[in-house]
Amino acid sequence: MSKAAITGVHGYVPDYVLTNAELERMVDTNDEWITSRTGIKERHILKGEGMGSSHMGAKAVTGLLEKTNTKPEEVDLLICATTTPDYVFPCTANLICDMVGIRNVGSFDIQAACSGFVYALTVGSQFIETGKYKKVVIVGADKMSAIVDYTDRTTCVLFGDGAGAVLLEPNDEGNGVLDSIIKSDGVGQNHLFQKAGGSRYPPTHETVEKRWHYVYQDGPSVFKFAVKNMADVSAEIMERNHLKGADVAWLVPHQANKRIIDATAHRMGIESDKVMMNIYRYGNTTAATIPLCLFDYEAQLKKGDNLVLAAFGGGFTWGAAYVKWAY
């Protein structure tokens, strides 16, 4: 059976950079506090009226198609992982397809918060492995600035905007997405969520006044669950594929918090120089963090490299994928 190999990756972040110094003027915080607790120095913010996650996703996909010499009409399926869709409907994947000229194909969104890209990669790989499709585009795109409360110093320092996309194609050389694990537990639903805006609490004057349309996070609880579950699922995928720390060329972790990343790497027995890290530049871009890491480190990747992708997100959701790099 052919495996679904990543044959190209591209990323996009907006031009505007929100630094820790600027946040110091907005809320009661400082650069030392932010850096020591999160590892974040700056984050990119999408500006402009009517601009949404789809606009960043389309930029990433356009760049991906150009660098892989793929025509829009050659794409069989597009899946977008996002927590900040442009609309309740139509889905953001539909909008991205329209913007880049991909017509008459299946497209849909996956919502698994910060684990969204791992979920979407897992789903998209199945279409390649079964032989149904030859070219599948997976996008992670989030405009977190749209749901961040910039008066809440506990959350506004964490998030940024961005998008990344990969192309999946069949591979018969033993490279590609070799294994994946996705998990969830609804026990975390009240620890990290956006309370209003859905069918349970539609928008009203009251929900706006109560600031229910912004991200709420119980930091200590999320940190505890994230450290355990992201490390556990990474260790699990290594164990069932008989991988030791020395066998892994790169850990590609969700960029939520440097301390969570360090704990995961330690559990896996992976040295810090084999951990992809760009949180200091982008902050937490939710579903975009992993493809943005792959994009930033693409020049350092070699064919046959063993990669472990790992993520944890609201819900709670978490997951990991074992990928053997194909180019």
What's the one-letter identity of residue 287? A
Q: Are 233 and 239 in contact (CB under 8 A)?
A: no
Kindly give, in sequence order, each residue whose CB lies less than 8 Å from that of residue 79, ignoring residues fewer than 6 positions away: 93, 107, 108, 109, 110, 120, 123, 124, 136, 137, 138, 139
| Active-site annotation holder among 80, 114, 156, 293 | 114
Kindly give, in sequence order, each residue whose CB lies less than 8 Å from that of residue 50, ignoring residues fewer than 6 positions away: none
| Active-site annotation holder among 91, 94, 254, 257 | 254
- Beta-bridge partners for 78: 107, 137
In angstroms, the CA 161 to CA 54 distance is: 12
In angstroms, the CA 136 to CA 77 distance is: 5
| Active-site annotation holder among 94, 171, 229, 284 | 284
In angstroms, the CA 269 to CA 263 distance is: 10
Determine how β-strand 250-253 pairs with β-strand 306-313.
parallel
254 is catalytic: yes
Give Dmax over CA atoms of the chain in angstroms.
58
CA distances from 162 to 48, 218, 287 (A): 14, 24, 9
Burial class (CB in 10 A: 0-12, 13-18, 19+), 268: buried
Of residues 162, 149, 225, the one with CA closest to residue 12: 162
213 is catalytic: no
114 is catalytic: yes
Active site residues: 114, 254, 284
